[in-house]
Homo-oligomer: A and B are copies of this chain.
Amino acid sequence: MEAVKQINVGLLGLGTVGMGVVKIIDGHQEDLMKQTGNRIKVVKALVKDINKKRDWTRSEQLLTSDPWEILRDPEIDIIIEVMGNIEPTFDYLMYALKQGKHVVTANKDLIAMHGAELLAQAKESKCDLYFEESVAGGIPIIRALVEGFASDRITKLIGIVNGTTNYILSKMSEEGRPFEEMLVKAQELGYAEADPSSDIEGLDAARKMAILSNLAFHMEVHFDDVMLKGITQVTQEDIQFSKQLGYEIKLLGIAKLNDNQIEVSVQPTMINKEHPLAKVNGVFNAIYVYGEAVGETMFYGPGAGQLPTATAVVSDLVTVVKQMNLGVNGRGVIPPYRNKQLKSDDLIESSYFIRLKVVDEVGVLSLLTHPFADLRVSIQEVLQVPANEEGKAQLIIITHTTSKAQMNQLIEEINALDVVDHIYSIYPVEEGEAE
């Protein structure tokens, strides 16, 4: 009988996700053995403070506060990184890859910023670098993009990829309460951090969209390429009017490819309420994928949470171990092979929702629609309601498809009109049809 080879795992970070990883590896020993033929064991875990009280029944000797004890240990085959941050994490993982250790990471900030360098080093060292968990927690979307749609040409992705903002926006829509209140509720429930800016400003979603666009379009898309707007300006009035017109407001990541040029954005967007994405509520994530051949598909699941996240990490780990047994690590990586070309503003198209305050007098609508006609932006729908102010009215306009360049000019011209008091808000509108 052949001896069972043990695969030793070093864990960088033992917070919520790290504990979940240990729980799954220990709890599913038998299944993991069946699937890989190996015993998989976490042999060391990096923590900040060894003496901290934690729900940890295993030997204290597993814990270390010195990362080099793990990174330099020749017995450790695979590093699982769940400590977060860019530095010193990036240096640790580069070092690990250079030592020939495979890496599984849940760190989307790091992948969005240094993914290309890490992948290049992994390729050179013939090591695996997996990061399924970095986008949409429990949903195996990266695997689907890389393998499932390998033969298709993906032309559009629409994603709800941040659970915190989706929770806040769905609660605002359900309960009719303002942003600030729902943010506090999200913080109380542990869905939002004490400093929530990375979520509510859309940074987290933008990093994920950069990673997804990269894989979908085979271009090196960076965080800086993502047009970005957070949800802090979304008001209850915007939500009520959008509902009245048949839409929900969601923080959507949209990535589109047309004629080899791409656009990637993350911004609060009105989506047709019959679209499946409009019905994704709470902390759930969902990603719509349009492929030329396959048409529309959607992936839905938990975007965060200890066990969903840990599951994605351990599934990556299983893939690495299988590839170790086959001796084919580091070969599955296909670096981006297309030149990145970003669309200019005159090629980025959408319809828009515009809500503004105007002087309530005869002929206003006619004056207001002049710039639309001049710029050939056609109007789909107009709604006029009283404003909370004497002599003023609110106008809501939904346009047909127009370019971002034209929209910018239109807004400038509208703003210059004497009858226009204030532009409250502008949202792109997504009907969700394939392009």
Residues of A within 8 A of B (CB): 20, 24-25, 28, 31-32, 34-35, 132, 138-140, 143-144, 147-153, 218, 276, 279, 291-302, 305, 307-308, 310-312, 314-315, 317-319, 322, 326, 328, 331-332, 334, 337
**Contact present for B319 and A293 (CB under 8 Å):** no
Which of B147, B305, B311 contacts A319 (CB under 8 A)? B147
Stoichiometry, as copies per complex, reads 2
In the complex formed, the residue of B with least CB distance to A145 is B140
In the complex formed, the residue of B with least CB distance to A23 is B293
A296 to B315, CA, bound (A): 16
A-B residue pairs in contact (CB < 8 Å), sample of 27: A20-B293, A25-B151, A34-B218, A35-B334, A138-B291, A138-B294, A140-B147, A140-B149, A143-B144, A148-B312, A151-B311, A152-B311, A152-B314, A276-B279, A292-B307, A293-B307, A293-B308, A293-B310, A294-B308, A294-B311, A294-B312, A295-B305, A296-B301, A297-B300, A297-B301, A326-B328, A328-B328
Which of B218, B294, B297, B332 contacts A299 (CB under 8 A)? B297
**Contact present for A151 and B314 (CB under 8 Å):** yes
**Contact present for A31 and B153 (CB under 8 Å):** yes
| Given A34-B218, A300-B298: A143 touches B148 (CB 8 Å cut-off) | yes
**Contact present for B334 and A34 (CB under 8 Å):** yes
In the complex formed, the residue of B with least CB distance to A308 is B294
| Given A149-B315, A150-B319: A295 touches B302 (CB 8 Å cut-off) | yes
A47 to B151, CA, bound (A): 24
In the complex, what residues of B have CB within 8 A of residue A276's CB? 276, 279, 300
**Contact present for B300 and A300 (CB under 8 Å):** yes
A24 to B291, CA, bound (A): 12
In the complex formed, the residue of B with least CB distance to A300 is B298
A251 to B98, CA, bound (A): 53
A151 to B80, CA, bound (A): 15
Shortest A20–chain B CB gap in Å is 8
**Contact present for B295 and A151 (CB under 8 Å):** no
In the complex, what residues of B have CB within 8 A of residue A312's CB? 148, 294
**Contact present for A297 and B293 (CB under 8 Å):** no
In the complex, what residues of B have CB within 8 A of residue A305's CB? 295
Shortest A218–chain B CB gap in Å is 7
**Contact present for B149 and A311 (CB under 8 Å):** yes
Which of B28, B294, B297, B322 contacts A307 (CB under 8 A)? B294
**Contact present for A147 and B152 (CB under 8 Å):** no
Shortest A31–chain B CB gap in Å is 7
**Contact present for A297 and B151 (CB under 8 Å):** no
In the complex formed, the residue of B with least CB distance to A331 is B326
In the complex, what residues of B have CB within 8 A of residue A148's CB? 132, 140, 143-144, 312, 315
A24 to B305, CA, bound (A): 39
In the complex formed, the residue of B with least CB distance to A299 is B299
In the complex, what residues of B have CB within 8 A of residue A302's CB? 294-297
Which of B28, B293, B296 contacts A24 (CB under 8 A)? B293
In the complex, what residues of B have CB within 8 A of residue A300's CB? 276, 297-300
